[in-house]
């Protein structure tokens, strides 16, 4: 903005920059993607602490590696949550999260809390998207055109 006027200042061309690439706007995230991403992030944080705890208790490599593998899978599959079937991948990872109870039985309590959170977020996101569809809006929250 110019100091004298409230009009935006024109961009000065920079000869060394070359042609500017047009950035494609990122599509809006739907409620399902947003809530499951939050859940995955919390689970990864829990798994990080779980990995440290299991290593401190057992000093055996397979246990912390199992926790780390599930955490990496949760992070690696976050982009898939944008797909219509992404929730199914997330559900499979919830099963893997629960399976860590076989490695460390105390983890069962933590896994149960995370799975309850996942179910709540899943049901809430479905309700939000269903309500947006019923109102004639884009279920992903994109502005109408």
pLDDT mean over 5-29: 60
Residues 6+ apart with CB under 8 A from 132: 31, 138, 139, 141
Best-predicted range by mean pLDDT among 14-23, 45-54, 55-64, 136-145?
45-54
- Name the region of 23 (left: φ>0; alpha: ψ -120 to 50; beta: rest): beta
Closest CA to 118 of 89, 139, 142: 89
Looking at per-residue confidence, does 92 or 5 come out higher? 92
d(CA 133, CA 136): 5
pLDDT in tens, 73-103: 999 999 999 998 999 999 999 999 999 999 8
Confidence (pLDDT) at 63: 87
Q: What is the largest CA-CA distance in the chain?
A: 69
Decide if 43 contacts 74 (C-beta within 8 A).
yes
Return the closest-CA partner of residue 102 out of 66, 75, 76, 137.
Answer: 66
Spatial separation of the C-alpha atoms in residues 38 and 35, rounded to whole Å: 5
Report the mean per-residue pLDDT for the chain.
84
């Amino acid at each position: 903005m110019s100091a004298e006027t409230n009009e935006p200042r024109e961009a000065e061309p920079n000869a060394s920059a070359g042609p500017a690439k047009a950035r494609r706007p990122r599509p809006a995230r739907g409620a399902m993607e947003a809530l499951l991403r939050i859940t995955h992030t919390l689970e990864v944080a829990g798994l990080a602490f779980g990995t440290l705890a299991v290593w401190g208790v057992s000093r055996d490599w397979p246990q912390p590696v199992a926790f780390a593998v599930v955490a990496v899978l949760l992070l690696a599959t976050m982009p898939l949550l944008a797909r219509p079937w992404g929730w199914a991948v997330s559900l499979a990872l919830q099963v893997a999260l629960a399976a860590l109870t076989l490695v460390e039985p105390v983890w069962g309590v933590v896994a149960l809390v995370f799975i309850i959170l996942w179910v709540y977020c899943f049901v809430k996101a479905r309700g939000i998207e269903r309500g947006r569809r019923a109102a004639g809006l884009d279920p992903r929250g994109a502005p109408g055109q």
